[in-house]
Structures are given as structure tokens and as C-alpha cells.
Structure 1
Amino acid sequence: MMKNSKKLMTALLAVSVLAACGQKEEEKQVAEPVEQEETTIDVSAEAEQFKSLLAGQMDSFVTDTELLASAIKEGELEDAQKLYPLVTMYYERLEPLTPSFEELDEKINGDLVEGKEMDTLGFQRIAYGLFAEKKTAGYEEIADELVANVKAFQADFATIDVSENNVLASGVTMFQDMTNNRLTSPSVAGTEVYAVKAQTEAAEDLMEVFVPRVSTESADAASKAITALNEIVAYYEVGKEDYVNYNLFTTKQEQELITAVTDVEKALQQMNDSIK
């Protein structure tokens, strides 16, 4: 009888161990994360529509870039300094598209690196000459190269593939760069207000394109933020399309503009998050 009891206990113990193991295995299986497929929202049609809104400025962009180059080649420093921010406004409006043509973007508007100014191309190199060195001599060839690259850009514009570019998200990045970099470390040219104005116009175009795809709340918030930013920029307008040099701003004025730009950035991000 004792032997049978021991056998029974051994059997019961074995069953308990097996059951426990089975339960742990089941728990382990439940704990393992389930892979989910990523859902990609197609905004290629909106990107193409945004591009089409900007196509109308391309002829003027080329013409005014040629005027800037002519002023440089003729040694007209003041005229070139006045033209420079107005010409760059065309390119600022195109900023959300730049991820779609990075190589040409580098030629037209390469980043100015301290200590390597001579290696920079396009607008930033010319700005260094006009506003830091305060001269046009030696920049004639660079001006001609800029015109050639802008013309190449115009020729390629219709065929630039923007299908993989969420231009609304690129617009958010554009404003992030403005608040985190450009408005906190202003250029020697001091043309940041011109840039903000042009990028705000780009934001208005983005709103027009994406309103049917986003929540009403986010669109309303973006509209209010853009209106508020436009009002601040208008305060610094000193002539038709001329604005106060950003390097003359007080710390309070800088912060007011940075806050307004940040509000637009956040509103565009909310729009992007609500795309349906």
C-alpha cells in the first residue's frame, strides 16, 4: 500500500510539474510581442499638388537670380545686398521640397561652415561675400554658377519625383530648423525675417493642400498660428517686401518671433499627426 501511495504521489508530482511547465510556456507565448505591419499613409498626390502651387514662381525666380548676378558682376554692392533676401525668398518657399533634390539643393544653397566659407556654394557663399566681406569682386563666377544651377533646377522642376516626400512633415522640419538654428544663430546677412515670411507662405500652401486630409481642430489651430505669425512679421515690414534686419532685434523681439514660429511648427505637426 505504501509503495502504491509513493507511486501515486510521484505521478501527481510529475503531473504538477508538467502542468506548471505548460503554464509557463503558455505565459511565455502570450508575453511575446506580436509584429504588426506598418501602415503607410500615401500623400504623394498632396506633394505633387504643393509642387504645382510653386511652379508658378519659377520664371520669376530665374529672372531675379539673373538680376542679382548682374548686380554682382557690375560691382553694385548695395543693389546686390537689397536683391539678395528677395531672391532667396523664392527658395525658402521651396524648402519642403528639398528632400526630393538634395544634390541640386547643395549646389544652390549649401550650408555655410565656419572656417570653410570658400568651399560653400550658391546663396550662402554669395551672402558671405556681400555681407561679411562686403564686396562683389571675386564673386562673379560664383554668381554665374548660381544662375546656371537655378536654371537647371527650373528645367528639372516638372520631373522632380516628390512621391516619397511627405511635404507636410518636411514643412515641420523646415520650421524646426528655423527655431532651433537660424533664429538662435542668425546669419551675417540678417535676412531671417524675409525667410520666415517666405516659409509662412509655404505653410499657407501646405494648409490649402492638406485641409481635406486632416482634422478640423488641427487645421483651425494652424490657421490661427499662421495668422499670428504673419501679424508679427508685418510689424517689421519697412517697405514693400523689405523687412528689418534680424541682427537689430532685441532679445525680447527675437523670443517673440521664435515663439510664434514654434507655434506654427507645432500646429503643422498636429496636422501631420491627424492625416487620414
Structure 2
Amino acid sequence: MNRRHILLPAAAAGLGALLLTGCEPNNPSDASGSDRIAVTSSEKECQVAATEAPAGTIRFTVENTGSQVTEFYLLGEDGLRIIGEVENIGPGLSRDLTVTAPEGKYFTACKPGMVGDGIRGDFTVTKAEGGGAEVSADDQKLKDEATAQYSAYVKDQTEQLMTGTEDFAKKYKAGDDDAARKLYAAVRMHWERIEPVAESFGDLDPQLDAREADLEEGQEWTGWHRIEKDLWPPQKGAEGTGADTAGGSDSGEYQPMSDEERTQIADKLVADTKTLYDRTRNMDFTADQLSNGAKELLDEVATGKVTGEEEFWSHTDLWDFQANVDGARIAYENLKPLLDKRDQDLSEKLTVRFDKLQTLLDQHKKGEGFKLYTELSKDEVKELSDAVNALSEPLSQVTEKVIE
């Protein structure tokens, strides 16, 4: 889930380089080119150089002139659906967003500090004019096959998520906490594998995946992490809890949820998951959504999983880490036949770096799952962080290769 990021000490050293290197440096000639729309983000402004563009491929170059990490979105007409996003743009840095968008009304949004609704502006995608490069029939076939395969993958993952969530909720409501704890990380992997798709529904994502530290004032806390805290309740005075942590803000002893509260929160989890399931039955995707989604999954790893922030109470972050990598790899492999034609060297580099990252993850397997995050040493966290960084950079190049 998109969130404000507070680096835990164990990961801060390794991740700092990751975030800086993962952001693409600003290229003035690109930003000023006729095919790119310059965006300047600061604490109080989100200046977009154009408020409209013709349908098809749209490229934004986003520069952060503020003092806070920011992110940029292109949102659908409802202001909820995410068409595309770039996250973790540090002060003084710049990143590109390339999307394919049909004619219609949209919103742009910068989120300084990566919280709240952001600074929004109207954006219009007009009817495409003639001209432009044509995609060969062979390349179009490869695109169609890639997106069809990914649609099937999303459908399968949401089906497994729905079934697993129903089983998890049943155990949790019955008070069978040991069984619920065993299911928690495994079931959530289906969510994490398709997280960019789930996040594209701006109303569902915070209801299902908000962490306590992400809550806005007055926001009701529901979803997986609310139940996580109840299954792994903080112990007063224990290391890793307290108001100054990234995971929560307890000022006293934790009060377990009552049977009635458990039923209410579990039923809502199932209902919201069913809504996600229904919305993804007939989703269509474009090639840039696959490549951008893969990059977003690596960003999720960098800013939540490898820092230990995501699963603050259960410390099952490596399950999420693996699932994000799974999702990114599937999207890449769906596009690989097309990428092989257009940039064989980049395709081979990605294969090697996915394999290297997976080898590192495999070293931390334990039984049917993984070690807890708290069992990793600082050196092991940095090693994982470096491998994510090495994969993230070439992965960010895929969209430009496959979109035309």
C-alpha cells in the first residue's frame, strides 16, 4: 500500500542508496521535449506543464523541488483509480512516468510526504490525432498475449485470495488464533503479488491494507494489519513497540478485540476482498501497466518489506517480499518475448538479476515459509536491499521499450 515511509534503523543504511539510485536523474532535454510533460512537485505546489495530451502514450517527467519525498499519480475521472504512479522521488531528484491512456477526464496528483489526497489538478486526454508509429502485427500479437496472460494471472490470484481470506476470517472469528496466524502470511501473498492492481482501486486499498502508522486523523482502521496487531499483540515495554516506532502508536497496554469486534472486522475483510474479486473479473491491461506494475512492486519491496515496516507486528515481511518479487517477475516474463525482440541485452540482464535476487531470498527460507524479519542481520538486509536496487534500475527501462 502507498504510505509514508519511516526507515527502521536495521535497514536505513542499505536502503538509503537504494532509494537514491532507483530514482532516474533528470534529463533537461527529455523534460523539455515535445513528447514529455514536465511536472514540478514541492510542499505546496504540483505544477504540470500541460493540462491535456492526445490519447495514447503520455510521458511525464516529475522533478521534486521540495524537501520531502514525493510521488506523482495520474488518476481516473473518479479520482480513485490509479492509471499510473511513480513513488519515492527524493528531494532534488526526478523520475519518469510513461502510461497509455484513452480519451477522457483525469486528475494529476503530487503527494509531498506521500500522505493524504495530494495536490490535484484536472487533466484531459483528447482524441488522438493521425500519425504516430504503427505497431507491427507480430509485436501487437506479443502484446496481446502478454496482457491476456497477466489478466489470467490476476484472476487466479484474486480467486485464491478470496478463498484464503474466507478461511482465515473463519478461524479468526472462532478464536482459533494459532490457525489464523499460520494462514496470515500465506494468504496475504496473493494480495501482495497483484498489489498494483489492488492499489488501483483507491477506495479498497486503505480499507484492506492500511497500516496503523498510515492512518489519517479520524480514519477507521480496518483490514489485514488491524487483525495482524490483534493476533500478535504488542507487549508493554517490549522492543519494537511504542509511540516512536513506524508500526504503531500505543501509549499503554494493548486491549484485545472483543468477539463482536472480531466478527465485524473479519466480515468487512471478506466483504472488501469480495469487492476486489468482483472488480477484477474482466479487467483489461496494457503493456505499460504490466511494466509499470512490475516496477511498483519493486518499489513496494524497497519501501516496506526490506525495511520491516509492512508486517510490524508479525514480522512476516519476507513472505510479502517474495510475493512482490513473484508479481514483478510474472509481469516481466509475460512481456519477455516482446522485450527479447526490442532489447535482448536488457531482457538478459533482467533475467540474471531476478535470479540473483531469488537466490538471496531462498537463503532465508525456513520450513514452509521464511525467517522472521527480526532474525535478519543488518548485513543480510543490506544484501537484499542492494539486489533489489540492482534489479529496479533496468526494470524501470522496460516501459519505454515495450510501449510503442
Structure 1 residue 194 corresponds to structure 2 residue 322: no
Cα distance change on mapping 1:222 and 1:84 into 2, 3 Å: same
Q: Which has the larger radius of gyration?
A: 1
Structure with the larger helix share: 1
Residue 185 of structure 1: how far off its partner (Å): 4.3
SS at match of 2:366: strand
Residue type of the partner of 1:119?
E
Distance 1:165 1:72, change over 3 A: farther
Alignment of 1:11-26 (within 5 A): none
| Structure 1 residue 195: Cα displacement | 0.8
Question: Is residue 2:206 matched to residue 1:103?
Answer: no
Structure 2: which amino acid aligns with 1:65? T
Q: Which letter maps to 1:36? A: S
Question: 2:212 touches 2:226 (CA, 8 Å); kept in 1?
Answer: yes
Report the counterpart of residue 89 of structure 2 in structure 1.
none
Match of 2:384 among 245, 257, 261: 257
Indicate the residue corresponding to 1:5 in structure 2: none
From 348, 356, 363, the equivalent of 1:228 is 356
Deviates more, 1:79-88 or 1:157-166: 157-166
Q: Would the aligned equivalents of 1:104 and 1:153 in 2 still touch at CA under 8 Å?
A: yes
Q: Give the Cα–Cα distance (whole angstroms) in 2 for the partners of residues 35 and 222 of structure 1.
A: 29
Match of 2:213, SS state, is coil
Gaps of 5+ in 1: 1-33
Partner of 2:222: 121
Over the aligned positions, Cα root-mean-square deviation in angstroms equals 2.8
TM-score of the pair, normalised by structure 2: 0.54
Whether the 8 Å CA contact 2:168–2:184 is kept in 1: the answer is yes
Change (3 A) 1:164 1:209: closer
Q: Normalised by the size of structure 1, how large is the TM-score?
A: 0.77
Does structure 1 conserve the Cα–Cα contact (< 8 Å) formed by 2:308 and 2:317? no
Residue 204 (structure 1) aligns with? 329
Taking a change above 3 Å as real, the CA distance of residues 108 and 164 of structure 1, as seen in their structure-2 partners, is farther
The aligned counterpart of 1:82 is 182
Flag the 1:228–1:163 CA change in 2: closer, same or farther, 3 A. closer
Q: 1:213 aligns with which of 320, 338, 344?
A: 338
Q: How does 1:1-276 map to 2 (within 5 A)?
A: 36-37=34-35, 40=57, 42=100, 45=144, 46-47=146-147, 49-113=149-213, 119-133=220-234, 137=258, 138-160=261-283, 162=285, 166-186=289-309, 187-214=312-339, 215-240=343-368, 242-275=369-402, 276=404
Residues 161 and 273 of structure 1, relative CA distance in 2, 3 Å threshold: closer
Judge conservation of contact 2:295–2:396 (CA < 8 Å) in 1.
yes
> Comparing 225-234 with 206-215, which one deviates more in the overlay?
206-215
- Aligned CA distance change for structure 1 residues 54 and 245 (closer, same or farther; 3 Å): same
What SS does structure 1 have at the residue aligned with 2:297?
helix
Structure 1 distance, partners of 2:35, 2:394, is: 28
CA distance in 2, matches of 1:131, 1:261: 28
Distance in 1 (CA, whole Å) between partners of 2:154 and 2:284 is 15
2:11 corresponds to = none
CA shift at 1:161, angstroms? 5.5
How far the C-alpha of 1:181 sits from its partner, in A, is: 3.6
Describe the superposition over 1:223-269 as per-residue Cα deviations: whole angstroms up to 9, x where unpaired: 111111111111221122x1111122111111111122222222311
Is residue 308–residue 373 contact of structure 2 (8 Å, CA) maintained in 1?
no
Contact 2:365–2:371 (CA under 8 A) maintained in structure 1: yes
Amino acid aligned to 1:69: A
Contact 1:97 1:165 in 2 (8 A): no
Of all paired residues, the percent bearing the same amino acid is 21
Task: Note if contact 1:100-1:162 (Cα within 8 Å) is conserved in structure 2.
Answer: no
Structure number with the higher strand fraction is: 2
Structure 1 residues 186-195 or 166-175, which shifts more?
A: 166-175
Cα distance in 1 for residues equivalent to 2:231 and 2:306: 20
User: How far did residue 163 of structure 1 move?
Assistant: 5.1
Unaligned segments of structure 2, at least 5 residues: 1-31, 37-55, 58-98, 101-139, 236-255
How far off its partner does 1:37 sit?
4.4
Amino acid paired to 2:294: G
Distance 1:108 1:209, change over 3 A: same
Instruction: Give 1:99 deviation, angstroms.
Output: 4.4
Larger CA deviation: 151-160 vs 131-140: 131-140
Distance 2:215 2:196 in 1: 28
Between 1:265-274 and 1:146-155, the stretch displaced more is: 265-274
